[in-house]
């Protein structure tokens, strides 16, 4: 097969290539060998670890997830978790909170500082340089310690009167701000917002068409925001009209609950198989050109085989392998719709969103904040400020590098065809700078997520800290470490996928 | 009027002054790149600027649409003086097209979007109209079938022709060419020069920095020879190539011809 097309000269016999030189054979054989090696190594490691642990009678099961961990957590969604799994979940949520807020604020701060460093203004430029050079050259752990010490020694700073009137407080117990939370009418208001978004999109489309037809700059995004804002404000007062959705959702929930189990199984299995077949059809169609079906590579065959296997596997799992799944789907679907119905229940006429003022309990030398306000604990604050400042210095350099990476000729060409500075930045410079900045920016996001584990140094209850306590209490080292690894792997993969998606969107087409 | 192959300066005698440079000076640090350049270019005139590298010819035409700021003397384009006044700079830039040695197309936009960008955002023309204009211009430079490709997918000559179309989309009164063929393979030079000749015959005011002597001889109304930031000699191609008066011009010609 690989030799065809060779013997073009008359009388020349197509030579048979020996197997060890046949590219296709070599490729397949090496892949299979690599796979076997990896599987073998994994099997060996797991087997060895299991045997050794058993020999030393160290337990490596996951029982601790279900039993009382026997400790409290200083902050988080549940300060007194009743199972080990719950405790780890609290730690994960704390880590995610820290990582996500760090990512958002480090990006914003870094963007500002990066642009400042490119400024023509000497003072702004110098200040940005000093910031970057100072912050990024001090180890992050040292910075976190310094901030923790500074926050810990801070005096109490609170305005009980005037416009502040106890809404914001700072002390060694942390930073307290009002807790803003979805209230009675929130879900009805969400419906209003959804309608408003549709309306605003329609308006934006009209504005874009208007601009395309007449050439007048018609600010479609500004209009989008204005319409949405208007609907949101009106909706703030009229949202109770959507209370009727209560009955609708409850009825959908009832209908969902009455689906027979066997029917659900059948639908799920058929769906999985159909999806895999549809994917293959689409895949083949994408290979089809007017000249006929293109030659399929080994890689393409792999993909199609995996699609079939995947579809069959899912079908097997939902029908035979995991009988509880279909009833779980039915039950949770029913619960979900009833939950939604509940959110639209009677008497939900209050404000969609409310705010609570932080309260002080145990005022005196050891004052503490009550549950009312949103309190950023000293540990979280130190980690958040430290990570944000530190990562922002790297983001700033990435932003600067991205903008400088756009050749000077681009801004000259933009100027030469008459674009002003802002237009050149928006249409020419930034789209190209973003493309260059995205991959290193993704790395910084990964770094922030991983650096949250430094929280253990100042007693912030992140997943590593909580996991460490669980490990100490239960003695199950390997399972806890496995959970840590899996958690951080999931975080990192999610970030990678998101960044790559943006990266593909901003890619530049070349030949 | 369309016969530009001879030094027919009479055809320009009634035209008004399009570019007036008076004692233009420019320094890069201690280095003086332009030393009192004085020249007047009439409407519809095609001027080719020659000179050894480093003689300030690129700097000069880059000053004319303010990609470089001149530091002494005056530059007046179509009656508007180029100063620190941003409004004047924008006005002049939208009337003066420029083609670069390195094309400088926007790699993230299709050929069509490259050409329509300025008409839509600067001239505020309707998109359909701008796209029609873009297609007409791409037709004129001979590559309408490439409209939906990206610059990276085109050859150098095609890219430079797109760059010319992009400049023409602003319907400029003057076109500046900064060594438009210097980055091209020999077989692509002709296709770009043909487009430029076509433009010149159409009555565009053009200032061209180039090393293409054939183009200069055939198309130019006037040749300006520069060295060390000064205009050494200026005259019709016939005068310049056959009977130069200055020693330095003779030396330059003896080196390249």
pLDDT digits (tens, 9 = 90+) for A55-76: 888 777 888 888 888 888 888 8
Residues 6+ apart with CB under 8 A from B154: B111, B143, B146, B162
pLDDT (mean) for B101-122: 93
pLDDT at res. A491: 94
Q: What percent of chain A has pLDDT over 70?
A: 91
CB contacts, 8 Å: B130 with chain A: 215
pLDDT at res. A3: 46
Beta bridge partners of A160: none
pLDDT at res. A184: 80
Assigned token pair, A183: 């209230």
Residues 6+ apart with CB under 8 A from A9: none
Each residue's pLDDT tens digit, A207-244:
988 888 887 878 888 999 999 999 999 988 888 888 88
Contact B72, B52 (CB under 8 A): no
pLDDT at res. A159: 63
CB contacts, 8 Å: B123 with chain A: 215
Confidence at A349, pLDDT banded by 50, 70, 90:
confident
Residues 6+ apart with CB under 8 A from A305: none
Question: Taking the alpha carbons of A332, A337, A343, A347 in that order, is the dihedral positive or negative?
Answer: negative
Residue of chain B with shortest Cα separation from A431: B108
Q: What percent of chain A has pLDDT over 90?
A: 39
Element (H, E) at B50: strand B46-50
CB contacts, 8 Å: B65 with chain A: 415-416
Residue of chain A with shortest Cα separation from B152: A510
> For chain B, what is the radius of gyration of the CA atoms?
18
Measure A121 CA to nearest chain B CA, in Å: 18
Query: In this structure, how many other beta carbons lie within 10 angstroms of the beta carbon of residue A493?
Result: 11
pLDDT at res. A401: 93
Contact B152 A407 (CB under 8 A): no
DSSP string, A418-467: T--HHHHIIIIIHHHHHHHHHHHHHHHHHHHHHHGGGGGGGT---HHHHH
Each residue's pLDDT tens digit, A438-471:
999 999 999 999 999 999 999 899 999 999 999 9
φ/ψ (deg, to 5) at B174: -135, 140
For the cut 70, the answer to whether the pLDDT of residue A7 exceeds it is no
Assigned token pair, A398: 């990435």
pLDDT at res. A299: 81
Contact B108 A432 (CB under 8 A): yes
Each residue's pLDDT tens digit, A243-288:
888 888 888 988 888 888 888 888 888 999 999 999 988 888 887 7
Asked if B200 reaches chain A (Cβ–Cβ under 8 Å), the answer is: no
Residue with tokens 């330059």: B252
- Work out the burial of residue A186: count CB atoms within 10 Å of its CB; fewer than 13 is exposed, 13-18 middle, 19 or more buried: middle
Element (H, E) at B22: strand B17-28
**Surface of A (472-511) touching B: CB under 8 A:** 506, 508-511
Asked if B93 reaches chain A (Cβ–Cβ under 8 Å), the answer is: yes
φ/ψ (deg, to 5) at A144: -65, -40
Residue of chain A with shortest Cα separation from B90: A418
For the cut 60, the answer to whether the pLDDT of residue A495 exceeds it is yes
Contact B108 A409 (CB under 8 A): no
Of A215, A407, A427, the CB nearest to B117: A427
pLDDT at res. A246: 84
Size of interface A-B (CB pairs under 8 A): 93
Residue of chain B with shortest Cα separation from A435: B108
Q: Which residue has the higher pLDDT, B37 or B84?
A: B37
pLDDT at res. A454: 94
Give the separation between CA B85 and CA B74, rounded to whole angstroms.
13
- The least confident of A198-212, A399-413, B9-23, B182-196 is B9-23
Contact A449, A495 (CB under 8 A): yes
Asked if A412 reaches chain B (Cβ–Cβ under 8 Å), the answer is: yes
Interface test with A, best of B117, B128, B137, B166 (most A CBs within 10 A): B117
| DSSP 8-state class, residue A318 | I
Each residue's pLDDT tens digit, B36-80:
999 999 999 999 999 988 899 999 999 998 999 999 899 999 988
pLDDT at res. A511: 55
| DSSP 8-state class, residue B103 | -
Quote the mean pLDDT of chain A. Answer: 85
Confidence at A6, pLDDT banded by 50, 70, 90:
very low
Residue with tokens 């904040």: A369
Contact B124 A419 (CB under 8 A): no
From the list B88, B71, B72, the residue with the least C-alpha distance to B80 is B88
CB contacts, 8 Å: A214 with chain B: 126
Give the separation between CA A28 and CA A24, rounded to whole angstroms.
6
Of B93, B129, B149, the CB nearest to A418: B93
Asked if B90 reaches chain A (Cβ–Cβ under 8 Å), the answer is: yes
Asked if A120 reaches chain B (Cβ–Cβ under 8 Å), the answer is: no
pLDDT at res. B9: 57
Quote the mean pLDDT of chain B. Answer: 89
Contact A419 B97 (CB under 8 A): no
Measure A396 CA to nearest chain B CA, in Å: 23
Contact B129 A432 (CB under 8 A): no
pLDDT (mean) for B14-29: 90
Q: Which residue has the higher pLDDT, A304 or B6?
A: A304
Burial B21-41 (b: 16+ CB within 10 A, else e): beebbbeeeeebbbbebebeb
Residue of chain B with shortest Cα separation from A507: B108
Contact A418 B170 (CB under 8 A): yes
Each residue's pLDDT tens digit, A135-144:
999 999 999 9
Of A211, A432, A511, the CB nearest to B153: A511
Reduced to 3 states (helix: H, G, I; strand: E, B; else coil), residue A37 is helix
Measure A427 CA to nearest chain B CA, in Å: 8
pLDDT at res. A150: 86
φ/ψ (deg, to 5) at B201: -65, -30
Contact B126 A407 (CB under 8 A): no
Each residue's pLDDT tens digit, A418-430:
998 889 988 999 8
Task: Give whole-number Cα distances, A466 to A91, A142, A381, A470, in Å.
Answer: 6, 22, 18, 6
Of A214, A418, A435, the CB nearest to B94: A418
Residue of chain A with shortest Cα separation from B100: A413
Asked if A415 reaches chain B (Cβ–Cβ under 8 Å), the answer is: yes
Give the separation between CA A26 and CA B10, rounded to whole angstroms.
77
Of A213, A409, A420, the CB nearest to B104: A409
For the cut 90, the answer to whether the pLDDT of residue A413 exceeds it is yes
Pairing of strands B96-99, B174-178: parallel
**What's the number of CA atoms in the CB half-sphere (13 Å) around residue A183?**
14
CB contacts, 8 Å: A506 with chain B: 108
pLDDT (mean) for A147-152: 85
Asked if A152 reaches chain B (Cβ–Cβ under 8 Å), the answer is: no
For the cut 60, the answer to whether the pLDDT of residue A113 exceeds it is yes
Give the separation between CA B150 and CA A418, rounded to whole angstroms.
22
Q: Which CATH architecture has domain A84-149+378-506?
A: Orthogonal Bundle (1.10)
pLDDT at res. A161: 63
- Work out the burial of residue A476: count CB atoms within 10 Å of its CB; fewer than 13 is exposed, 13-18 middle, 19 or more buried: buried
CB contacts, 8 Å: B104 with chain A: 407, 409-410, 412-413
DSSP string, B121-135: HTS---HHHHHHHHH
For the cut 90, the answer to whether the pLDDT of residue A18 exceeds it is no
What length does chain B have?
A: 257
Residue of chain B with shortest Cα separation from A508: B108
Interface test with B, best of A207, A417, A502, A509 (most B CBs within 10 A): A417
pLDDT at res. B4: 37
For the cut 70, the answer to whether the pLDDT of residue B215 exceeds it is yes
Contact A509 B150 (CB under 8 A): yes
Contact B108 A215 (CB under 8 A): no
Residues 6+ apart with CB under 8 A from A441: A107, A395, A398, A499
Burial A19-37 (b: 16+ CB within 10 A, else e): eeebeeeeeeeeeeeeeee
Q: How far from the centroid of its chain's Cα atoms is residue A408's Cα?
A: 35
Beta bridge partners of A169: A158, A176
Give the separation between CA B200 and CA B193, rounded to whole angstroms.
10
- The least confident of A1-5, A44-48, A126-130, A394-398 is A1-5
What is the ipTM for the molecules in this complex? 0.90
What length does chain A have?
A: 511
Asked if A218 reaches chain B (Cβ–Cβ under 8 Å), the answer is: no
Q: What is the pTM of this model?
A: 0.70
Supply the angle between the helices A84-117 and A122-135 in degrees, to the nearest 10: 150
Query: In this structure, how many other beta carbons lie within 10 angstroms of the beta carbon of residue A217?
Result: 11
Reduced to 3 states (helix: H, G, I; strand: E, B; else coil), residue A61 is coil
Contact A511 B128 (CB under 8 A): no
- The least confident of B8-17, B162-171, B185-194 is B8-17
Torsion of CA A212, A214, A217, A220, to 10 degrees: -50
pLDDT (mean) for A393-411: 93
pLDDT (mean) for B94-106: 93
Residue of chain A with shortest Cα separation from B168: A417
Measure A414 CA to nearest chain B CA, in Å: 8
Of B67, B121, B169, the CB nearest to A419: B121
Asked if B114 reaches chain A (Cβ–Cβ under 8 Å), the answer is: no
Longest dimension (CA), chain A: 104
- The least confident of A246-260, A344-358, B16-30, B114-128 is A344-358
């Amino acid at each position: 097969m690989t030799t065809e097309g060779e013997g073009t000269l008359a009388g020349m016999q197509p030579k048979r290539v020996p197997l060890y030189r046949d590219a296709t054979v070599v490729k397949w054989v090496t892949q299979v060998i690599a796979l076997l090696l990896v599987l073998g190594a994994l099997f060996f490691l797991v087997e060895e670890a299991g045997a050794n642990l058993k020999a030393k009678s160290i337990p490596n099961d996951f029982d601790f997830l279900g039993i009382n961990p026997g400790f409290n957590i200083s902050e988080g969604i549940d300060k007194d978790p009743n199972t080990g799994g719950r405790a780890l979940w609290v730690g994960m949520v704390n880590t995610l909170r820290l990582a996500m807020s760090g990512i958002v604020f480090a990006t914003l701060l870094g963007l500002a500082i990066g642009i400042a460093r490119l400024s023509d203004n000497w003072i702004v430029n110098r200040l940005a340089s000093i910031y970057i050079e100072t912050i990024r050259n001090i180890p992050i752990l040292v910075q976190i310690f310094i901030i923790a010490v500074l926050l810990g020694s801070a005096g109490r700073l609170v305005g009980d009167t005037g416009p502040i009137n106890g809404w914001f407080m700072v002390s060694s117990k942390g930073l307290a701000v009002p807790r803003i939370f979805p209230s009675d009418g929130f879900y009805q208001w969400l419906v209003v917002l959804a309608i408003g978004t549709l309306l605003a999109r329609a308006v934006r489309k009209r504005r874009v068409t208007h601009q395309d037809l007449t050439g007048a700059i018609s600010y479609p995004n500004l209009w989008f925001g204005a319409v949405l804002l208007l609907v949101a404000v009106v909706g703030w007062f009229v949202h109770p009209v959507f209370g009727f959705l209560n009955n609708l959702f409850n009825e959908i929930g009832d209908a969902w609950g009455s689906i027979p189990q066997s029917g659900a199984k059948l639908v799920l299995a058929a769906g999985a198989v159909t999806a895999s077949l549809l994917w293959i059809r689409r895949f083949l169609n994408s290979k089809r050109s007017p000249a006929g079906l293109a030659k399929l590579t080994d890689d393409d065959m792999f993909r199609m085989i995996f699609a079939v296997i995947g579809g069959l596997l899912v079908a097997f799992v939902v029908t035979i392998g995991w009988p509880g799944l279909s009833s779980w789907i039915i039950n949770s679907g029913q619960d979900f719709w009833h939950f939604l119905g509940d959110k639209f229940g009677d008497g939900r006429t209050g404000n969609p969103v409310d705010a609570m003022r932080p309260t002080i309990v145990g005022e005196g030398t050891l004052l503490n904040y009550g549950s009312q306000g949103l309190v950023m604990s000293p540990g979280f604050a130190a980690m958040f400020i430290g990570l944000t400042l530190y990562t922002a210095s790297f983001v700033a350099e990435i932003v600067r590098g991205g903008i400088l990476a756009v050749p000077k000729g681009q801004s000259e060409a933009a100027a030469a065809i008459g674009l002003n500075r802002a237009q050149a930045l928006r249409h020419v410079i930034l789209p190209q700078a973003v493309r260059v900045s995205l991959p290193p920016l993704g790395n910084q996001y990964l770094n922030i997520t991983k650096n949250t584990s430094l929280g253990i140094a100042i007693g912030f209850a992140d997943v590593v800290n909580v996991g460490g306590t669980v490990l100490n209490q239960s003695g199950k080292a390997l399972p806890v470490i496995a959970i840590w690894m899996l958690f951080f792997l999931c975080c990192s993969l999610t970030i990678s996928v998101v960044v790559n998606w943006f990266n593909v969107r901003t890619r530049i087409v070349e030949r | 009027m369309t016969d530009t192959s001879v030094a027919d300066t009479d055809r320009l005698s009634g035209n008004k002054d399009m570019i007036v440079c008076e004692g233009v000076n420019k320094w890069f640090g201690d280095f003086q790149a332009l030393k009192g350049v004085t020249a007047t270019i009439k409407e519809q005139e095609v001027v080719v600027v020659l000179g050894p590298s480093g003689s300030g010819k690129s700097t000069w035409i880059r000053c004319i649409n303010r990609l470089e700021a001149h530091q002494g003397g005056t530059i007046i384009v179509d009656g508007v003086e180029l100063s620190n006044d941003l409004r004047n700079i924008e006005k002049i830039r939208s009337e003066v097209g420029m083609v670069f040695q390195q094309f400088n197309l926007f790699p993230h936009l299709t050929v069509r979007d490259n050409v329509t960008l300025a008409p839509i955002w600067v001239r505020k023309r309707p998109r359909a109209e701008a796209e029609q204009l873009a297609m007409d211009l791409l037709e004129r430079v001979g590559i309408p079938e490439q409209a939906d490709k990206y610059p990276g997918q085109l050859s150098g000559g095609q890219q430079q022709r797109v760059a010319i179309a992009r400049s023409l989309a602003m319907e400029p009164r003057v076109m500046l060419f900064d060594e438009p063929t210097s980055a091209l393979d020999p077989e692509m030079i002709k296709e770009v020069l043909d487009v430029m000749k076509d433009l010149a015959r159409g009555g565009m005011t053009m200032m061209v920095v180039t090393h293409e002597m054939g183009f200069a001889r055939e198309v130019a109304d006037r040749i300006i020879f520069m060295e060390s930031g000064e205009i050494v000699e200026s005259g019709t191609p016939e005068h310049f190539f056959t009977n130069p008066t200055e020693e330095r011009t003779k030396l330059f010609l003896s080196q390249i011809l």
